């Protein structure tokens, strides 16, 4: 038969994957299109932010020496409409939030704190210098560091780049990923099922997972367990940056993926990880192409993509921390540990008075994708004796849409 090489730990397997996932080439990207991308270079601000002393309130720009006092209103400053001259002694200028504080003024008195009559403001209290003025560069100075290489860009980062006047940034290009489903029994959803057939779910599922990790996806298959068909499909997949196949990596007579991959020049780094589900996962490379052979059982494929493929895709994009990013929460019900393998149990989070609770879903077998769909977390159950008890703080991987 085909004895499995000794099973690697999850950490050891991940380390081997990440050692091969070197960042791809960089490209310029318009800031509005950077959500989800990873910066390849540090970015500095191109302007002082704010670029001028600006008002934090709707109110009146004054000299603090003139407060308290009754001052004539000599100009109305709006956002984008600065004063046409400096503020003189004994004068006030109306100013809107975001308006440029005029030369000569050193404070803004909020409109709520004045009495306005006959184009004069009555200010009843002394105003401290600098009140309600946002200083030049108070957020960031021109040329100062804004975002570091390796940062994954989300909405706040897009906002910061745009605010700082940055029009384009350098990001690592998106990895091109082929998702290949193997199995003679598989039919596309919408087709008629004949005896012994099932709907193919790994293709759409893995495509969704890798797309959410920033990759550009092409799907191939389902491809029957036929040497010629699978060799041709694998060779096509090997043209990508990453090939993610599912099925056909176990030891049955129809499991062809590993042998055919080896014949096509893929050098296997490992086959078999001490994880449940997902044990028969394989990983190798051909040239710069990363090659993942995921098991066919849908929940096994789901676990393997989160543990190994998503981090690899983020590392290819130059992420500083490619993950997987475990979080901690309290277990709502006990989970039995297994002597020989770590387990990733499907669980549902809920918010209680004590913070997040993790409730394992019923139906923990590796073919039960419908049960797994009720979960939004993978709880790490470390291998060992006994059980994790209800109330224990455990580590889990969030499953995000
Ligand atoms: P395999 O790893 O090819 O031995 O497949 C293990 C189990 O997963 C079998 O029950 C297959 O029918 C099932 N399976 C394989 N590929 C898929 C797929 N793309 N979608 C749904 N189930 C699959
Ligand atoms: Mg199969």
Å from CA of 301 to ligand 2 middle: 12
Q: What is the mean pLDDT of residues 386-392?
A: 97
pLDDT score recorded for residue 128:
97
pLDDT in tens, 229-246: 999 999 999 999 999 999
- Report whether residue 201 contacts ligand 1, using a CB cutoff of 6 Å: yes
- Report whether residue 293 contacts ligand 1, using a CB cutoff of 6 Å: no
Q: What is the mean pLDDT of residues 329-351?
A: 97
pLDDT score recorded for residue 5:
63
pLDDT score recorded for residue 1:
36
The answer on pLDDT for 302 being more than 60 is yes
The answer on pLDDT for 294 being more than 80 is yes
C-alpha 191, offset from chain centre:
34
Buried b (16+ CB within 10 A) or exposed e, 309-325: bbbbbbbbbbbeebebe
Å from CA of 384 to ligand 1 middle: 29
Å from CA of 223 to ligand 2 middle: 10
Q: What is the mean pLDDT of residues 291-303?
A: 98
Q: What percent of the chain has pLDDT over 90?
A: 97
pLDDT score recorded for residue 289:
98
Beta strand extents in 278-321 (DSSP E only): 282-286, 289-294
Buried b (16+ CB within 10 A) or exposed e, 85-114: eebeeebbbbbbbbbbbbebbbbbbbeebb
Sign of CA dihedral 284, 290, 294, 300: positive
pLDDT in tens, 163-217: 999 999 999 999 999 999 999 999 999 999 999 999 999 999 999 999 999 999 9
Among the atoms of ligand 1, which is closest to the Cα of residue 221?
19
Buried b (16+ CB within 10 A) or exposed e, 122-132: ebeeebeeebb
Q: What is the mean pLDDT of residues 144-153?
A: 96
Indicate whether this model's pTM tops 0.85: yes
pLDDT score recorded for residue 159:
98
- For the chain, the maximum distance between any two Cα atoms, rounded to a whole number of angstroms, is 98
Among the atoms of ligand 1, which is closest to the Cα of residue 182?
16
* Distance between start and end Cα atoms, the chain: 40
**Is the distance from CB of 292 to CB of 308 less than 8 angstroms?**
yes
pLDDT in tens, 319-333: 989 999 999 999 999
- Report whether residue 197 contacts ligand 1, using a CB cutoff of 6 Å: no
- Report whether residue 247 contacts ligand 1, using a CB cutoff of 6 Å: yes
**Nearest ligand to the C-alpha of residue 294?**
1
What mean pLDDT, rounded, does the chain reach? Answer: 96
Cβ-count burial of 385 within 10 angstroms (0-12 exposed, 13-18 middle, 19+ buried)?
A: exposed
For atom 15 of ligand 1, which residue has the closest CA? 296
pLDDT score recorded for residue 6:
77
- Report whether residue 230 contacts ligand 1, using a CB cutoff of 6 Å: no
pLDDT score recorded for residue 114:
97
pLDDT in tens, 50-104: 999 999 999 999 999 999 999 999 999 999 999 999 999 999 999 999 999 999 9
pLDDT score recorded for residue 401:
81
pLDDT in tens, 24-38: 999 999 999 999 999
The answer on pLDDT for 368 being more than 60 is yes
Q: What is the mean pLDDT of residues 136-142?
A: 97
pLDDT score recorded for residue 353:
85
Å from CA of 77 to ligand 1 middle: 68
pLDDT score recorded for residue 354:
82
Phi and psi based region of residue 202 (left: phi greater than 0; alpha: psi -120 to 50; beta: remaining): alpha
Q: Is 31 helix (H, G, I), strand (E, B) or coil?
A: helix
pLDDT score recorded for residue 3:
53
């Amino acid at each position: 038969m085909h004895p499995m090489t000794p099973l690697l730990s999850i950490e050891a397997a991940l380390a081997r994957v990440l050692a091969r996932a070197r960042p791809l080439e960089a490209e310029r990207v318009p800031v509005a299109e950077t959500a989800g991308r990873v910066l390849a270079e540090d970015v500095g601000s191109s302007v002082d932010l704010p670029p001028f002393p600006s008002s934090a309130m709707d109110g009146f720009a004054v000299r603090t020496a003139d407060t308290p006092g009754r001052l004539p209103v000599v100009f109305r400053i709006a956002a984008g409409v600065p004063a046409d001259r400096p503020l003189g002694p004994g004068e006030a200028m109306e100013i809107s939030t975001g308006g440029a504080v005029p030369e000569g003024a050193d404070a803004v008195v909020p409109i709520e704190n004045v009495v306005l009559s006959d184009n004069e403001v009555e200010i009843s209290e002394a105003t401290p210098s600098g009140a309600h003025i946002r200083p030049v560069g108070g957020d960031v100075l021109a040329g100062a560091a804004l975002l570091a290489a390796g940062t994954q860009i989300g909405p706040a980062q897009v906002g910061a780049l745009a605010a700082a006047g940055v029009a384009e940034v350098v990001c690592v290009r998106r990895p091109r990923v082929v998702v290949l489903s193997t199995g003679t029994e598989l039919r596309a959803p919408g087709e008629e099922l004949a005896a012994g057939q099932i709907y193919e779910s790994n293709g759409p599922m893995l495509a969704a997972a890798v797309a959410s990790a920033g990759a550009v996806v092409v799907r191939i298959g389902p491809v029957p367990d036929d040497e010629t068909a699978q060799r041709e499909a694998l060779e096509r997949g090997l043209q990508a940056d990453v090939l993610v196949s599912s099925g056909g990596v176990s030891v049955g007579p129809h499991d062809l993926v590993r042998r055919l991959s080896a014949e096509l020049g893929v050098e296997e780094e490992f086959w078999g990880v001490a994880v449940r589900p997902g044990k028969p996962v394989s990983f190798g490379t051909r040239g710069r192409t990363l090659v993942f052979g995921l098991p066919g059982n849908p929940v096994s494929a789901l676990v393997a993509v989160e543990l190994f493929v998503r981090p690899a895709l983020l590392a290819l994009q130059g992420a500083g921390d490619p993950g997987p990013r475990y979080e901690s929460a309290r277990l709502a019900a006990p989970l039995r540990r297994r002597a020989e393998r770590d387990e990733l149990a499907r669980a549902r989070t809920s918010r209680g008075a004590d913070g997040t609770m993790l409730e394992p879903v019923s139906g923990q077998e590796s073919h039960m994708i419908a049960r797994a769909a009720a979960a939004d977390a993978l709880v790490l159950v470390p291998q060992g004796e006994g059980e994790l008890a209800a109330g224990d703080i455990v580590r889990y991987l969030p499953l995000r849409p």
